[in-house]
Structure 1
Amino acid sequence: MPRAITPTRTALALTAAAATAAIWGGTSWYAAANDDSAAFAKSRDEVLAAGEQGVQNLQTLDYRDIDDGLATWESSATGDLLTELKGGRADFEKQVKSAKSVTTAKVLSGAVTELDDRAGKASVMVAVRITVDTAKEKPGSKESRILGELTRTDDGWKLSALSEAPVESATGAGQ
């Protein structure tokens, strides 16, 4: 004979169901709060923002404000790239002033291609449109894909290497 449903049994069943839901909710919340994927996604976003800004900075220079432009270059770089920029500063300044050139870059898109958050190393590819305007020639622009390596510093992520990505031609051969 089945047992009768009593208020006590109903209360016990509801208490057990509530306890089970509370345990499940608590463990789910704890797992989500301690999941490394959220921290990794934040690092990836920081790398992409720093990489895009760094590439834009290093592709932009105005002869009328050369000191600030080169200071921005240096503040965007670290390691060997920073050493190279500092070593070539006088030549860059001379060339840009002589040509009276204004070079600007606009980021079209970017992606993180590698990220080792523990080692503080990352790589990005950034598509930019670079426009060059000189006193002697009509302004011209080209689109370019730039590869950047970043290193995490005390001041955040900075470019430590920069190069232009090879572009495939219609025949499949690199240019």
Structure 2
Amino acid sequence: MTAEGNTKRRPVVALVACGLSLVLALVAGVLWVLAATSSSVAYAETRDTALQDGTSAIIAFNTLDHKKVEEGLKRWEKFSTGPLHDEIKKSHQDYATKIKQAKSSTTAKVLDAGLTELDQQAGKAKMIAVVQVTVNIEGQKPSTKQDRYQAELSREGDTWKLSNLGTVPVG
């Protein structure tokens, strides 16, 4: 083959390579758009939001200062719904009295948490969490304990709230 033949083919090869690159870019773009709008992405976002809201609610329910009881109980109401919310409102005064008498403050930290169930359509979820709670009682050294919780969540608008919360026995 002559040098002149190679020179004539170069523009054709370059044009074919450019066209192939364009097609591949278009295919990749279409696949990316389809993936970004798929129902699995929406499900993952819902799952993440439910877990984050549930974790925040569990922290709120385990963090309380006996000097700011009303503020703490309002937080409980804010993070709850359904039967749990009704129970908090009904027993508000009883809870306030017991917390003030205990003269304790608690601070919670979720060590690990995960959803065990998620029904996007019904707006219901269940989760478990391991929570570390530091307890400060006036006149005593702070103590730390770990509890396991099982929670049920219900969606209200864009927010997931606790509708049930209970400890899980260890052993």
- TM-score normalised by L of structure 1: 0.81
- The 3-state SS of whatever aligns with 2:152 is strand
2:83 aligned to which of 80, 84, 93: 80
Letter in 2 for 1:101: S
Letter in 1 for 2:109: K
The percent of aligned pairs where both chains have the same amino acid is 38
- The 3-state SS of whatever aligns with 1:52 is helix
Does residue 1:61 correspond to 2:64, yes or no?
yes
Does residue 1:118 correspond to 2:121, yes or no?
yes
Report the CA distance between 1:66 and its aligned residue.
0.7
Letter in 2 for 1:66: V
Matched positions, count: 165
Residue 10 to residue 81, structure 1, CA distance change in 2 (3 Å): same
- TM-score normalised by L of structure 2: 0.83
The structure with the greater share of residues assigned to helix is: 2
1:60-88: CA deviation from partner (whole Å, max 9, x where unpaired):
21110111010011101011110011111
- Aligned residue in 2 for 1:30: 33
Across the aligned residues of Structure 1 and Structure 2, the Cα RMSD in angstroms comes to 2.3
Once residues 121 and 165 of structure 2 are traced to their aligned partners in structure 1, the CA distance between those partners, rounded to angstroms, is 22
More displaced, 13-22 or 104-113? 13-22
Gaps of 5+ in 1: 169-175
Gaps of 5+ in 2: none
- Aligned residue in 2 for 1:162: 165
- Aligned residue in 1 for 2:152: 149
Residue 90 to residue 15, structure 1, CA distance change in 2 (3 Å): same
Residue 155 to residue 12, structure 1, CA distance change in 2 (3 Å): closer
Once residues 139 and 14 of structure 2 are traced to their aligned partners in structure 1, the CA distance between those partners, rounded to angstroms, is 88
Letter in 2 for 1:27: V
Letter in 2 for 1:107: V
Once residues 103 and 27 of structure 2 are traced to their aligned partners in structure 1, the CA distance between those partners, rounded to angstroms, is 67
1:13-33: CA deviation from partner (whole Å, max 9, x where unpaired):
447524642442243123222
Does residue 1:51 correspond to 2:19, yes or no?
no
Once residues 100 and 88 of structure 1 are traced to their aligned partners in structure 2, the CA distance between those partners, rounded to angstroms, is 19
1:84-112: CA deviation from partner (whole Å, max 9, x where unpaired):
11111111101111221212212212112
